[in-house]
């Protein structure tokens, strides 16, 4: 039975209308994005469109998420580009290698699903992803500048080499091409600002194509994308080349791992917002099937797309039927609109890709990871520098290795257990039954190390706590929380933001100076209010929690309330600290 059928129980006509609307919105974004990502990877642009269509359909039929949209992404496309450059493959050789590479990625993904590889991603710090994405963005930008400026340069596998080649050839800029690129950027920024409800990428490509056609009549020529004959969808057959298999293995493993990280993060985030559960194992299987389909359908690797998945969610999608709708629209577009692609100037698409690359560089996140802890900074810098100096698949491996080494230097995730007051007024492990009165205030006592390796466990415990029906306020007691890093702090921030949406207030007590500083750096005070963070006071170890309880009663407008405590189980209730 297809996983899609699980979403179709009690499916109604209004749900179909919602899904068709969301699917149409996503398809309008997906078509030009697919072309852009194919261009990033150095492939014909129709490969990106085919991949988007097959990814959307496969994700709808076999995926476990209502909202996740599969298709080519920035991260996977630039990793593909880096792999091709490191192997020095020509355009023709890339097209020959793609089916085999896709089949390898599919096999790794499906095998990894059954081996439960997804359980290890909790040990990969966010600083690895931020470092990789930053390096990838810089490679995207420098690699597309030659198209936007009309410069011809040799191929190079790394950011540094591409930057040097670009600098050496700046004197050969084509002014007409550069002017069209600047016009493209201006139109894109203007439509994004003043026409937010419309597909700005599609509008920009249409307008700049019209400009290029008009200038062509005046004798000013531009390089255009190759047109695709109408009704054409070529099949591709993986080649049985064991030498090529050996060369592509490292790239295939890196693409599979990166796709897993991307997709799991996006699927979990959207599922949490909608109150859903997502099966990452099934999601890996769906990505493997999509990659296998692309191996025979002239596509490229798929991953979960943040922009398209978010648009799908915000457009009111009810089920994966929205993804199926988007895929079918893309199939029609791929078969019918191929000749129109030949009117798009290569410089215009390259300029849009540069804007996409710039948008991937998150300065605030970089500041957070550099300034939070030494381990965050070391992991980020190691991944970034490796990505700038070497092919990007190596950066993924280096970042993960550094992240795990630093993880092994710390203790494992905290174990949390529910505590409450017993009949004698003493703290003890809770024996509360289902029909007992639910508490209005919940206190979570966190004891031990709280860092990226424990983020998933901690986040799950927070979400479980917030599901208590009558809980209106949560106090996080962080006095004995050690080694708090940016990943865990961001998890607290995200939880606080989601709790606020559910009208559940979050307070923090017992924050030691190092913990308080990291909380400030990631902006938690902006979410819950600085007045709701109570620092630890050495002169009076109980003061911060007492003040937090007083503040909680003020917020709730009560003089007393039922209280539930969570804490790390040690020898017994008497071992719990008093603050």
**What pLDDT is attached to residue 579?**
42
pLDDT at 426: 44
d(CA 544, CA 392): 47
Strand partners, 506: 474
What CA–CA distance (Å, rounded) separates 523 from 489?
A: 9
Report the candidate in 223, 474, 476 with the shortest Cα–Cα distance to residue 350. Answer: 223
The helix or strand, by DSSP H or E, that contains position 207, with its residue range, turns out to be helix 200-216
Evaluate whether 109 touches 259 at the Cβ level (below 8 Å): yes
Measured distance CA(44)–CA(27) in Å, rounded? 19
| Closest to 222 measured CA to CA, from 236, 210, 238 | 210
* Contact indicator for 450, 416 with CB cutoff of 8 Å: no
* Residue positions counted in the chain: 579
317 sits in the region (left: phi over 0; alpha: psi -120 to 50; else beta) called: beta
Task: Output the pLDDT for position 570.
Answer: 36
Q: What is the pLDDT of residue 210?
A: 94
- How many whole angstroms separate alpha carbon 386 and alpha carbon 133? 12
225 contacts 45 by C-beta, under 8 angstroms = yes
How far is the C-alpha of 76 from the C-alpha of 34, rounded, in Å?
12
Query: What does each of the 579 residues of the chain score in pLDDT, given as a tens digit?
Result: 678 888 888 888 888 999 999 999 899 888 888 988 998 888 999 999 999 999 999 999 999 999 999 999 988 898 898 889 888 888 899 999 999 999 999 999 999 999 998 888 777 788 888 898 899 889 889 988 988 999 988 878 889 998 999 999 988 999 999 999 999 999 999 998 898 777 788 889 999 999 999 998 888 889 888 888 888 888 999 988 889 999 999 999 999 998 998 888 888 878 877 888 889 999 999 999 999 999 999 999 999 988 789 888 888 889 999 999 999 999 999 999 888 888 999 999 899 889 888 888 889 889 988 888 888 899 999 999 999 999 888 888 898 889 888 876 665 555 554 444 445 544 445 555 554 555 577 777 776 666 666 667 667 767 776 666 777 888 888 877 777 888 888 888 888 888 888 888 889 988 888 888 888 888 888 888 888 899 887 777 668 878 888 888 888 876 655 555 544 433 333 333 344
Query: Could you tell me where the DSSP H helices lie in 275-320?
Result: 280-296, 306-314
Q: What angle do CA 542, 546, 549 make, to 5 degrees?
A: 150
Half-sphere exposure of 171 (CA within 13 A, CB side): 1
Which residue in this structure is represented by tokens 């492990």? 429
Instruction: Kindly report the pTM of this predicted structure.
Output: 0.70
Contact (CB, 8 A) for 319 and 19: yes
What are the structure tokens assigned to 189, written together? 């920024």
Q: In three state form, how does the secondary structure of 38-78 look?
A: HHHHCCCHHHHHHHHHHHHHHHHHHCCCCCCCEECCHHHHH
Q: Which helix (H) or strand (E) holds 252?
A: helix 242-274
β partners of residue 535: 511
- Contact by Cβ (8 Å): 463, 496: no
**Helices vs. strands in the chain: H and E counts, helices first:** 23, 9
Residue that the structure tokens 């359909």 belong to: 57
Cβ atoms of 333 and 49 within 8 Å: the answer is yes
Asked if 545 and 446 count as a contact pair (C-beta separation under 8 A), the reply is: no
DSSP 510: E
> Are β-strands 533-535 and 303-304 bridged in parallel, bridged antiparallel, or unpaired?
unpaired
Interhelix angle 374-389/392-408, rounded to 10 degrees, is: 160
Give the per-residue pLDDT at 563.
55
3-state SS assignment for residue 508: strand
How open is the CA angle 266-356-388, to the nearest 5 degrees? 90
Report the pLDDT value the prediction gives residue 542, as an integer from 0 to 100. Answer: 67
501 with 528: CB under 8 angstroms? Answer: no
233: which 2 tokens? 């969808």
The separation between CA 459 and the C-alpha centre of its own chain, rounded to angstroms, equals: 17
User: Which pLDDT score, from 0 to 100, does residue 427 have?
Assistant: 40
| 14 burial type by CB count under 10 A (0-12 exposed, 13-18 middle, 19+ buried) | exposed
Angle at 152 between CA 387 and CA 49, to 5 degrees: 65
Cα distances from 442 to residues 103, 507, 539, 554, in angstroms, run 50, 10, 26, 15
Residue 421, pLDDT score: 42
Measured distance CA(456)–CA(331) in Å, rounded: 38
Cα–Cα distance for residue pair 540/80, rounded to 1 Å: 57
Domains of the chain, each with CATH number or no CATH: 15-405 (no CATH), 417-575 (3.30.750.24)
DSSP, residue by residue, 347-397: HHHHHHHHHHHHHH--HHHHHHHHHH-HHHHHHHHHHHHHHHHS-HHHHHH
């Amino acid at each position: 039975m297809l996983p899609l059928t699980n979403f179709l129980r009690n499916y109604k006509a209004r749900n179909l209308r919602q899904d068709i609307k969301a699917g149409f919105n996503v398809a309008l974004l997906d078509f030009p994005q697919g072309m852009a990502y194919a261009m990033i990877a150095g492939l014909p642009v129709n490969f990106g469109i085919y991949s988007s269509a097959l990814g959307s359909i496969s994700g709808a039929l076999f995926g476990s998420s209502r909202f996740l949209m599969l298709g080519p992404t920035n991260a996977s496309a630039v990793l593909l580009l880096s792999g091709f450059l490191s192997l020095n493959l020509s355009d023709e050789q890339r097209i020959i290698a793609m089916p085999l590479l896709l089949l390898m990625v599919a096999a790794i993904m499906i095998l990894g699903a059954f081996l439960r590889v997804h359980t290890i991603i909790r040990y990969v710090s966010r600083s690895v992803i931020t470092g990789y994405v930053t390096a990838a963005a810089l490679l995207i930008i420098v690699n597309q500048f030659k198209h936007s400026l009309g410069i011809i340069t040799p191929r190079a596998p790394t950011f540094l080499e591409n930057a040097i080649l670009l600098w050496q050839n700046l004197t050969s800029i084509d002014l007409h091409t550069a002017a069209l690129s600047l016009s493209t950027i201006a139109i894109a920024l203007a439509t994004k600002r003043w026409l937010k409800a419309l597909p700005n990428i599609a509008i920009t490509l249409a307008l700049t194509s019209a400009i290029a056609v008009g200038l062509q009549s005046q004798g000013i020529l531009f390089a255009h994308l190759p047109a695709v004959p109408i009704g054409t969808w070529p099949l591709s057959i993986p080649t049985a080349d064991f030498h090529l298999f050996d060369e592509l293995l490292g790239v295939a493993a890196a693409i599979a791992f990166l796709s897993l990280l991307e997709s799991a993060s996006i699927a979990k985030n959207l599922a949490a917002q909608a109150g859903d559960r997502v099966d990452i194992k099934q999601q890996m299987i769906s990505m493997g099937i999509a990659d296998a389909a692309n191996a025979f359908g002239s596509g490229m690797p798929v991953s979960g797309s943040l922009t398209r998945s978010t648009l799908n969610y915000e457009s009111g999608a009810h089920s994966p039927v929205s993804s199926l709708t988007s895929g079918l629209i893309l199939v029609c577009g791929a078969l019918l609109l191929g000749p129109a692609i030949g009117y798009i100037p290569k410089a215009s698409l390259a300029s849009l890709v540069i804007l996409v690359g710039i948008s991937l560089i998150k300065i605030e996140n970089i500041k957070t990871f550099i300034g939070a802890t030494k381990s965050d900074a070391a992991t980020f810098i190691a991944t970034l520098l490796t990505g700038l100096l070497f092919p990007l698949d190596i950066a993924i491996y280096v970042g993960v290795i550094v992240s795990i080494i630093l993880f092994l230097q710390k203790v494992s995730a905290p174990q949390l257990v529910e505590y409450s007051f017993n009949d004698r007024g003493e703290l003890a492990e809770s024996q509360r039954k289902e029909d007992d009165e639910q508490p209005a205030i919940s206190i979570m006592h966190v004891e031990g190390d709280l860092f990226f390796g424990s983020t998933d466990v901690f986040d799950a415990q927070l979400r479980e706590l917030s599901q208590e029906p009558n809980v209106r306020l949560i106090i996080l007691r962080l006095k004995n929380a050690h080694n708090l890093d940016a990943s865990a702090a961001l998890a607290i921030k995200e939880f606080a933001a989601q709790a606020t949406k559910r009208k559940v207030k979050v307070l923090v007590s017992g924050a030691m100076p190092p913990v308080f500083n990291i909380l400030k750096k990631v902006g938690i005070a902006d979410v819950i209010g600085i007045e709701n963070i109570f620092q630890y006071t050495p002169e009076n170890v109980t003061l911060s929690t007492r003040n937090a309880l007083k503040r909680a009663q003020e917020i709730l407008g009560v003089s007393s309330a039922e209280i539930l405590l969570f804490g790390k189980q040690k020898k017994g209730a008497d071992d719990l600290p008093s603050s």
